[in-house]
Structures are given as structure tokens and as C-alpha cells.
Structure 1
Amino acid sequence: MGADSRAEQAGRGRATRGAVLVACGGLLMTACATMPDSGDVQAVKGANPGDSQVRVYAVAPRDNAEPDEIVDGFLEAMTSDDPGFATARKYLTNEAARSWKPEQSITVLTTAPDREQADRNADPENQGRAYPLSGRKIATVDARHAYQPVSPAEYEQSIHVVQQPTANGKGKEWRIDSLPPGLVLGEADFLRNYRSVNKYYFASGEDWVVADPVYIRQRQDPVTRMDPVTQTVKALLEGPTNWLKPAVDSSFLSGTELKEGVTTLTPDDQSTLRVPLNAKADRAGGDACRRMAAQLLFTLGDLTSVRVEQVELLGSGGQSLCRLGKGQAAEFAAVRNADREESPYFVDGHGKLMMLMLGAKEAAAPAEVPGPLGKPGLQLGSVAVDRGETRAAGVGSSGRELFVSSITTEQETPAAILRSKAAKPEDRLSAPSWDGRGDLWVADRDPAAPHLWMVPDGTGEPVEVRTPWLDDDARIESLRVSADGVRIALVVTRGDRTTLQIGRVQRQTTGDEPVVSVLDLQPATPRMESVTAVSWAGPSRLVVVGREAGGVQQIRYLQTDGSTSTTSVLPGLDGVTSVAAPHNDKSSVVADSGNDGIVRLAPGTNWQPVVKTGASPVYPG
């Protein structure tokens, strides 16, 4: 049965089902899960969200099934791995079975859709019955596999059943002739059947890759019959999601697909994956082929179930087009030496930039940083260190001025490169952020003249970023730019709500002047009532501090597309005002916890105090 557990819903017009260990033999069961053959018998309350070990098998409708059973059976069958959804289609009329396209979209609800009792008088002419479906819609997934969260909203649809002649023509049977488009799944069933992977494309005109998260089936795809590796490769070849497409390029020529009939891709005993492509790929030259192979290696690196150390692209005749190993692909990473252990920085109680020395078991005393930002005098309030850890940017404690200086050599106190005219400190400059290109970003929160600024190379003339969405009702509280420079995480206040938005960065050059825009803001935390802080934690993952309606403050991981799971919540911590996460999982998450000062969360441990007096902890970026 579905992991959202439609096992006991008699009160909502559904047939009551018994314990799962005996249910698979019952006539009323429409799907069942594989379970252990020992242990206590318990009533089914639903699998843990995202429990991919639970398998659901669809069961065809029984003879002379009542219309209630037909609707319930179909809803259950949608949650299965049934090839081609063939069993689910048996609940539909012939015409509905032909026209239903489950691969076109997924509607994700908080729980399995509630099926109400039908109004038997609603369709007297055709003697059909309409069954209302309801729930709370939280997301959709489109045909490109892109997840799009929405603020929880009422979902109201219906399934209509009619009687049609049986196959032998001697009677009639109930079947569904009208239904919602695509799949409709509760969140637990969705996470059990689908998993997030990152596809990778090149930042437009650049030599580094950008993550593009999508969802694929955990196991064989019912429609394409492809295993997860092949699904992932197919999704990459289909091109970037619609949101990211304007800012990235694919090295695969338009029309490049897997060779016809390929449904399984398996690495050999040398961890080399050979990918057979159609004739469109035959024209790929050496450099283009290397970039294609790099996109594949980065993409397949997200699949923990398979180890791929090298890819070989094959042309339509089976000829080798090129080979590329992980070490060679590393030159295309947005963050070089991504496996190294990173060190965080912070502002101490005297307003100086300092480096935290976090050992495996305990932290050493913070280290002084060379340069004027590490000396008394400027009185910093927030800081950012560039990806190469050679320069830092700091905003004074008054929020009025932005400074940039070296943190490897001593130099004179620099002049401010940007100033805010706002009257109140809280309305002045936000904490700064560096992207992987070496450009510096900061927001001026002046209510009279709000701006988002980009400083080319951290030293050039500040460029005002075009933000058509930044109107009188919007205020940027804080920002963090991705290492690839293509996406920006923005904490934005509108009215009484502070939310996390992900914007797409687009760059052009008009004459000699750069034109930079942040467009198409997408909500990343629609279920959170307020967001306090955010940090990048990898190519497409964020750490967010926020609070859901009626809840307490929590710290959790989520994808840039807004998807998450119940396993992503970090241990509780009170009063967090800022957070910083490393690019990889080898270093600690650090946070400013108010009364507890700077604390850290090492992998596999709980929060530990590091520095009693300090603020604005940051990793490079």
C-alpha cells in the first residue's frame, strides 16, 4: 500500500484495510509492500517519508468491484513501480488509459489525497459518479523533472467513474473516465519513489559547471523502463530546467540522445561507464567531447548507488568519441580543490577579522588574519572571504561602509569602495558575499534607495544590479552568492514575512559596461513563516535558519529548488542569527547563537561552543 498509508481511512469514505502482513492476500487490497516475515504484527501507519526500501506492488481491480474500490485502487496503484503503470491503467476506461500521461507532471500533497464519498445524483444522465479529491498541495514536478515548491494551498480535484461493458460483453464494470493530469502523490510516497540528483551544465560562456537539481525515480522508471543511471543521463541530455536555461550552456549538440533501446548503463570493473549516443554526437570534436564527458561525470557523481571514475562516450556506430576521468574533469569545477578541509572566519569582540581553528576533536584559539581587516581600527560588523582566501570584504559595525583588503599581506587601511546613506544602521549595507568569479556582492537596504550592488573583482567600480522585483514593498535582509556565480540566495522581507528566494544571475556587456541582473526569483522555503539566515552548503544545497508557522526555530538543509526531507533537520539550537556551512561535508557547520557565541556542529556530533564573543561566522564565499 502507499507509504502515506491509506490503510485505515474508513472515516473518509475509504475501505478499511488490515495489517500489511496479511493484506496482500485480501481481495480488497490494490497494492502491497514487501515486509519482513518475522516480528510483531502491527497496523500500518505508513512508511517513513522517503523510505525507498518499501516496495509497493499494484494489484488489478477484482471482478465486479464497486466504484469506491476502483477509485481507491487507482490511487494506490499510482504509488507503485508497476512497469508502464499497466495495472493502474486497468482502472481506467480504454480512452482514459490511452490519454493518461503520468510522466508529464507530478502534484505533491502533504499526505495522500483524501477521497470523499461520491454524490450519486451528480451525474444522473450517464449514471456515473464523481469522487472529490482534496488535500494540501505543496509542490509540482514538471516534464523536465524540475521540482517547484508552492505555499501550501488547498487541492481540489475529482475522479469520475462510469460503467462500461466487460471484456466478454456479458456485463458491465466500473472504470474511471476522467481524472487529474499526471500523478498525484502524498509527500511520503513521492520521496519513496523519487530522489533528487544534480545535472550539470556550464555557466554561460565559462569553463565551470553549475548544478541543476531534478528528481528521478529511485528504481526503474515505470514509463521508460530505465534504471536510475540511465534516467539521470537521459535527463542531462534533455537539457537544463526552464528556470536555469537562460544562464547556462550544454556542450551536447541539440538532438543528442541515448542510442535507441538503451535502458541500462552499468560501469565495468574499472568503474568506467560507456555511454552510447545517437548520430548527433558523432560530430562532437575533442574539446566539446571533453566538456560533454565532464558534464556526465559531475552528474553521475551525485548517484551514491554507483561508482563512476571515468566515462567514455560512444558514437552511433559504437566508435569511441572520447574518454575523461574524474581527475581531468576537476578543472571544470566551480570550486577548485573542493575536497580540502575549509576554515571558517568570524568577527571577534573587538571588530577584527579572525580565523577559527577547528580541529577534529576540539577547537584551538582563533588565529589572527594579516592585513588591516585583522587589526583594531575599522570595527567590522560583518565579513566575507573570497574563494581563494587571499582577500576579504568587511562592512563596518555602523553598516555604512564596505572595505576590501588582502588577508595574506600587510597593507594600509583601504578606502571604502561603497557607502550607504541610510539613517539607521539596520537600513544600511548587508553582509557581503563573494562569488567564484571573484566578484563581490552587497545590498544597500536604504528604504529611500534600495540597491543590490556587484563590485567586479572586488576592486572595480560598483555595478548596480538590475532587480525588477525590488520595489517599495521588498527589502533584502541578507544574501549569499553561489560559487558558480549563477545563483543567489536572498533573504527578502515583504510586509510581515521574511522568506528565502533563489534568483538567477544573468550577465551581459553593453559596450564597455557590464549589465548584471537577478531575475525570476523562486521561493525556496514556502512552508517557513520566517527565515533568519542562509548559507550555501555545496553546489545546490543550502543551510537555512527559519521557523514554520506555529513552530520553533530550526536549522535544516534543503535543495535550491526548495525540496527537502525529514532527515535534513540539524540538531536544535536557540537564538541563531547567522550560519555558515562548508562546501563539502568534511568541515563543521558554524553559527552565531546569541548568548552562546560562536558554536560549531562537526559531522556526527552535537553543537559545541567555540568562541564566547564573536559574530558573523563565514566560510569562503
Structure 2
Amino acid sequence: MRNRLAGVLGVALTALVLAGCASVPGHTSVQVLRQIGDNGAAAVPSGPIDDRDPLGLVRGFVYASGQPDDRHASARRFLAPQASNWDDGASLTILDERFDTVFSPDGITGDPNRATVRIRGTRLGTLDPFGAFEASPAPVEVDVGVVNRDGTWRIDGLPPGVLVRGSDFRANYRSLKAWFVDPVHKTVLADPHYIPSARTTALATRAVEVLLHGPSAGLQGAATTAFPPGAKLRSNLTESADGVVVLDLAGVDGLSDTDRRLLAAQLALTLAEVSVPRVRILSDGEPLIAGRPDLGREDVVDLVAGPPASAPLAAMVIENGRVRMLGDAGADTPLAGQAGNGSFFVTDAASSSRSNRIAVVSREETGTQRLLTGPVDGQLTATPVSGGSLTAATWNAAGDEVWVLADGVPQRVLVPAAGPTRQASLDAEEITSRGPVRDLVLSRDGTRVAAVAGGRALVGAVVTLPGGAVSVRQVRELRPAELDGVVALDWRAGDQLVVAANSDRPVSLVSVDGLTLDPMPSVNLTSPLRTVAAAPGRAMYVADRTGVWSFAGGDLDAWRQSLGATSDARPFYPN
């Protein structure tokens, strides 16, 4: 068995290297990427069906390009011999569903056996050589040369790279959560990548290559890898007699114990995503962690950033100035502390699962608002932050820091376990420059922040600078052509947001990189929408003109009323 697996992995690695970005890695919850409303891509023929139509030939070529197997073997059947050196590994561009093939006016030669066909479409973005998606929506035009030989048309000239329709990409690629390191808190966090569907054994080697390469551009400055420069696989992955995948590394022997454990967590968690339950991690033939050669997800889960899996994520709601737990039948069970007993008139709130603390915005008698923090069920203490309008309070992953919008400007407050709270430096100019900021929420792993600015949904990386200052960088708009009039958002998962908008698309799910956009049902919702709340594996809540509504999926594509006849209720989940 060991020799067979080593041979398979060796061949797979060679093929992946040759294919370049056409071969990128995968995921245990292995899910095919589809959107609500997709009817699925049409079956792609193995080669041209109608050779007499140059436009249909090129269109079929784009359809076939969605299949990455064997260096796009299906698409290569559309090529003339002189185009056999097509570089399909140069780039991968993902197109919106609709595209045109027309004759290019620049390619008219007068020769009836030659033509230039122009592919016109809208680019959603590109996939880098290691499977990270970079959103770059824009019109795109690509010219392809075709030639007629003996009554059949073939492509004889085309630029490097691959064009793939969104539906074909979703049908043939899967997601990989690659795990990297938060250099400040010494925890690990997930970074979404995409891979062609393939055998688990081939994906394991590729997954390690992704880790060696490092995190995506969207997390630049916020995440790193525990692999030191020059680290590499010492040999092909193999399988032991007891079924454990063996991974031997070179160039990691100088790591500290802390970094060794972080590196082991990266490997165990990422390989679990490609159905490798346990891995034997070696450094130059010896266990990377002394006495612990074999590791699985459960052995390193304590290093995962964000609230522990056992942390309660019960929904809460602010109504009539008090914070309550939000039960299935509506608001009940006021919080035991000052946030729920009426000591303060609460207009906004956020709680931390990690530290079991709450931050509330209190409306003072003077008309100003003040941020207070304290135990969820205890006494609250004022922070230095106040203003005419405080909104969108949100905790970091460690539960020792709160961000809040003070008169539309993001502010950062440090809340240590002992000692006074204090304001700290926060550079969020990349967000505030996009227009008035209406909402702001930190991801549960603390490495990203989502915001609503100028009616658009934004995501940026949270970068801690030398000296402790924090800057929001790599800010990008999510699906600007489809998401407008945005009023609120929240993290449904580490790689997915729920977005509420006062538009013809009231509620949507969008991936953190902007690749996938799923419209949600809007039955029973009444504009204007005010806020939205979400958490992993929990019902979503939306507050609209008539009250608070919940959606948990199921057979009925309709929102269910949780609180009615209220205009000020604001649901939220702990960070």
C-alpha cells in the first residue's frame, strides 16, 4: 500500500506542477461550489460537435475549459496542431455566466478559411497559481484565431491562460481551507483556496504546497506561515502500514517549540480538509514534536483562533433599552447584569464568547452616547469613548478589544482582564475613504473586518503593526455590481458573510473573497431592512420595518417572525 500511494502522489505532484494554476488544492467538508438558483452547467462535450461554425467552436472551447483534468484535455480537442503549446497554466480567469462570441472586426483578412473570434464577458476575478481567488470585476475581451482545414474549424491562435464560466468553475472545483498563523496571538486561522476535484491522495501533497507558499493576498500582513524560508518536503508523502499519512519535512529543524506546534496545527488542520484524519509529521526523519509523531484535528483545535467550539452562540436582542436573550418564541430572559436590568438605556451591544464580556452603548441624559464594558451578567464600566452617535460595537477574537463607530469613525478600545480600558491606535482610512461607514464587524478569528461604507460591502485584513498599532489593509468591495444599497452585514462563517440591503436583493450570502454570491429568500421581509445577525450553524436574523425575522432554512423559503410591532429591536450574536 505504501509504495502504491507514494507512486500516486509522485505522479500527481508532477502533473500538478505541469498544470500550474490549473491544479489547486481541496477540503474535507469537500463541497462543490454552487449558488442558489444555479441550474448546473450543461454537460460539456469531449470535443467540438459542430465544426462548421467558428463562433460555436470558440463558445464550446470556453465551456470545455471548465474541466481542468489532464491539463484541460477536453479544451485541447478544440485546438489545431499549431496551438498545441497553449499555456493553460499561465492564469485562470473566472467569468460571469453570460458571455458572447462575435467576429472581431480587427481580424478580417479576406481569407474565408481564417477568422478571429472575440470572447466578450465580465470577469469576476482570477485564481492565483496556488488557488487563492482575487476579485477584479471588469469587462474582458479576448481574441482567438480560428482556421478551417478540410471543412472543419479549429483554434490556431490564443493567448496564454484559461477562461472559465462561473458555473463551470463551481461544478469542477472545490474549496480548501488552508490554515495559517496569526503572528500576534499565536493561533491559526483559515484562508479559503479552491482546487479542482481530484483524488484525496493527490490533494494532500498539493495542500502542503499551499502552506509552503503562504496565505492569500487578502490576508497579507495579518497572517503568516510557520514554515521557515527554505522549508520543503523531504520526500513524497507515503502511507504507513497502520494507515497514517507520513510527511517528512526538511529545513524546519531550527524552529522553537511554539512554532513547531503552530506548524503541526497548520498541517493537521489543512490535511483534515482533504480527508486525511491523522498525519505523522517528521523533520529530517524524526518527529517534529517530541513524543507526538501522529496528530489529527482534535489534537490542535485549541490553537484555532476565535471562540472555542463549545462556546455558546445564543442570539440576543436589544429592545426598549435592554439586552435580552432571543428565544424561539421571541425576546425573553433579560440579561442578569446591568446590560439587561435597565441601569442604562442600551442602544447597541456586542458580547464576546471568549471572555464572557459585553460592550454596550448607553444613551445618556445629555443626549450623548457612551461605550461601557463589563461581564455579561455584571456591572458595567465606562470607557473613554463617547459621541453623538455610537454604533456597530464588535469584539476581537481574544475578547480583550472592542471596535465601535463613533460618529461614523472606527475607534478601538483595549479592554484588559485587569486594569482600566483605554483607546488605542486604529488606521481604518481604507474603509472611511469609501464613503459614510454604517456598519462594522470583526470576524470571529479576528483577522478580518467587514464593513458597510458608501452602501457597499467591504472586507479588509486586520494588521497589527510594530508597537501595537492596528491598520485595516487590503480592503476590497464584495460584488459591487450586485450588492448595492447595503445597510448591514455579519459573519455567518469564517469565509462567508450575510449581507442585508435595501435593493432588489434584500439578503445575500457572499464569500469573503467575493467569488460566490447566493441570494436568500425575501418572503415576508418588508423594506427598509435595518440590521442582520448571523453565526455558524445558527438561524439568521433580520430586523426590518415590521420587526425581527429569522431564517433557518428547511422546506419553507420564508422568514419567520420572531418579534413583531417593533421599530428599534436589534438582534446580534456573540463574537
Q: Is the TM value for this pair above 0.5?
A: yes
Q: What's the counterpart of residue 224 of structure 2?
A: 249
1:156 aligned to 2:141? yes
Q: What's the counterpart of residue 373 of structure 1?
A: 339
**Structure 2 vs 1, CA of residues 342 and 104 (structure 1 numbering), >3 Å: closer, same or farther?**
same
Q: What's the counterpart of residue 94 of structure 2?
A: 108
- Matches of 2:130 and 2:457 in 1, distance apart? 24
| Equivalent residue in structure 2 for 1:235, among 210, 213, 226 | 210
Q: Shift of the alpha carbon at 1:620?
A: 1.0
- Matches of 1:120 and 1:506 in 2, distance apart? 47
Gap runs ≥5 in structure 1: 1-46, 165-170, 423-427
| Equivalent residue in structure 2 for 1:84, among 71, 81, 85 | 71
Q: What's the counterpart of residue 47 of structure 2?
A: 59
Letter in 2 for 1:183: V
Q: What's the counterpart of residue 325 of structure 1?
A: 296
- Matches of 1:473 and 1:60 in 2, distance apart? 47
Q: What's the counterpart of residue 343 of structure 1?
A: 314
- Matches of 1:433 and 1:345 in 2, distance apart? 14
**Structure 2 vs 1, CA of residues 373 and 93 (structure 1 numbering), >3 Å: closer, same or farther?**
same
Q: Shift of the alpha carbon at 1:610?
A: 2.9
**Structure 2 vs 1, CA of residues 61 and 331 (structure 1 numbering), >3 Å: closer, same or farther?**
same
Q: What's the counterpart of residue 520 of structure 2?
A: 569
Q: Shift of the alpha carbon at 1:90?
A: 4.6
Q: What's the counterpart of residue 599 of structure 1?
A: 549
Q: What are the Cα deviations for residues 416-463 of structure 1, in whole angstroms up to 9, with x where unaligned?
A: 52122x5xxxxx2222100112210012235xxxx3211012653212
Q: Shift of the alpha carbon at 1:115?
A: 1.3
Q: What's the counterpart of residue 507 of structure 1?
A: 464
Letter in 1 for 2:345: Q
- How many residues of Structure 1 are paired with residues of Structure 2 in the alignment? 524
- Matches of 2:497 and 2:239 in 1, distance apart? 31
CA contact (8 A) 1:276 1:316 kept: no
Q: Shift of the alpha carbon at 1:288?
A: 3.5
- Matches of 2:120 and 2:97 in 1, distance apart? 10
- Matches of 2:330 and 2:345 in 1, distance apart? 24
**Structure 2 vs 1, CA of residues 91 and 364 (structure 1 numbering), >3 Å: closer, same or farther?**
closer
Letter in 1 for 2:96: T
- Matches of 1:111 and 1:370 in 2, distance apart? 52
Q: What are the Cα deviations for residues 55-110 of structure 1, in whole angstroms up to 9, with x where unaligned?
A: 64533799x87755653453343122441223533544556432x33233222222
CA contact (8 A) 2:311 2:354 kept: no
Letter in 1 for 2:306: V
- Matches of 1:444 and 1:410 in 2, distance apart? 25
Q: What's the counterpart of residue 589 of structure 1?
A: 540
Q: What are the Cα deviations for residues 104-128 of structure 1, in whole angstroms up to 9, with x where unaligned?
A: 3222222253211465972359974
Q: What's the counterpart of residue 204 of structure 1?
A: 183
- Matches of 2:441 and 2:240 in 1, distance apart? 37
1:310 aligned to 2:278? yes
| Equivalent residue in structure 1 for 2:362, among 373, 378, 396 | 396
1:518 aligned to 2:472? yes
Question: Which region of structure 1 is more displaced relative to structure 2, 134-143 or 465-474?
Answer: 465-474
RMSD (CA atoms): 3.6
SS of the aligned residue for 1:88 comes to: helix
Letter in 2 for 1:332: L
Q: What are the Cα deviations for residues 360-418 of structure 1, in whole angstroms up to 9, with x where unaligned?
A: xx44762122332223242121111123363211123478323323235543x633521
**Structure 2 vs 1, CA of residues 503 and 529 (structure 1 numbering), >3 Å: closer, same or farther?**
same
Letter in 2 for 1:577: R
Q: What's the counterpart of residue 441 of structure 1?
A: 403
**Structure 2 vs 1, CA of residues 49 and 375 (structure 1 numbering), >3 Å: closer, same or farther?**
same
Q: What's the counterpart of residue 3 of structure 2?
A: none
- Matches of 2:495 and 2:152 in 1, distance apart? 49
CA contact (8 A) 2:220 2:461 kept: no
SS of the aligned residue for 1:297 comes to: helix
| Equivalent residue in structure 2 for 1:353, among 311, 320, 323 | 323
CA contact (8 A) 1:352 1:380 kept: yes
TM score, norm. by length of structure 1: 0.74
SS of the aligned residue for 2:485 comes to: strand
1:384 aligned to 2:372? no
Letter in 2 for 1:561: D
Letter in 2 for 1:563: L
Whose RCO is larger (CA < 8 A, sep 6+)?
2
Q: What's the counterpart of residue 71 of structure 1?
A: 58
Q: What are the Cα deviations for residues 176-220 of structure 1, in whole angstroms up to 9, with x where unaligned?
A: 343243211221111111123221111123221222111111236
- Matches of 1:69 and 1:489 in 2, distance apart? 42
CA contact (8 A) 2:373 2:381 kept: yes
- Matches of 1:217 and 1:119 in 2, distance apart? 36
**Structure 2 vs 1, CA of residues 444 and 329 (structure 1 numbering), >3 Å: closer, same or farther?**
same
- Matches of 2:147 and 2:330 in 1, distance apart? 73
Q: Shift of the alpha carbon at 1:156?
A: 1.7
- Matches of 1:267 and 1:579 in 2, distance apart? 49
Q: Shift of the alpha carbon at 1:562?
A: 1.2
Letter in 1 for 2:359: A
- Matches of 2:383 and 2:184 in 1, distance apart? 32
| Equivalent residue in structure 1 for 2:385, among 418, 428, 437 | 418
Q: Shift of the alpha carbon at 1:316?
A: 6.2
Gap runs ≥5 in structure 2: 1-35
- Matches of 1:535 and 1:417 in 2, distance apart? 26
CA contact (8 A) 1:393 1:402 kept: no
SS of the aligned residue for 1:176 comes to: strand
Letter in 2 for 1:456: L
CA contact (8 A) 2:431 2:475 kept: no
- Matches of 1:381 and 1:480 in 2, distance apart? 16
Q: What's the counterpart of residue 529 of structure 1?
A: 484
CA contact (8 A) 1:58 1:76 kept: no
- Matches of 2:221 and 2:89 in 1, distance apart? 25
Q: What's the counterpart of residue 422 of structure 2?
A: 461
Q: What's the counterpart of residue 17 of structure 2?
A: none
**Structure 2 vs 1, CA of residues 460 and 416 (structure 1 numbering), >3 Å: closer, same or farther?**
closer
Structure label with greater radius of gyration: 1
Q: What's the counterpart of residue 9 of structure 1?
A: none
Letter in 1 for 2:302: E
Q: What's the counterpart of residue 13 of structure 1?
A: none
Q: What are the Cα deviations for residues 484-524 of structure 1, in whole angstroms up to 9, with x where unaligned?
A: 2221001101xxxx0011111111243xxx31111221112
CA contact (8 A) 1:115 1:133 kept: yes
- Matches of 2:472 and 2:270 in 1, distance apart? 26
**Structure 2 vs 1, CA of residues 204 and 51 (structure 1 numbering), >3 Å: closer, same or farther?**
farther
CA contact (8 A) 1:391 1:404 kept: no
1:195 aligned to 2:161? no
**Structure 2 vs 1, CA of residues 121 and 471 (structure 1 numbering), >3 Å: closer, same or farther?**
closer
Q: What are the Cα deviations for residues 222-252 of structure 1, in whole angstroms up to 9, with x where unaligned?
A: xxx9744444343233211123132112112
Letter in 1 for 2:437: I
SS of the aligned residue for 2:73 comes to: helix
Q: Shift of the alpha carbon at 1:329?
A: 0.9
**Structure 2 vs 1, CA of residues 278 and 403 (structure 1 numbering), >3 Å: closer, same or farther?**
closer
Q: Shift of the alpha carbon at 1:479?
A: 0.2
SS of the aligned residue for 2:430 comes to: coil
| Equivalent residue in structure 2 for 1:579, among 523, 529, 532 | 532
- Matches of 1:539 and 1:267 in 2, distance apart? 34
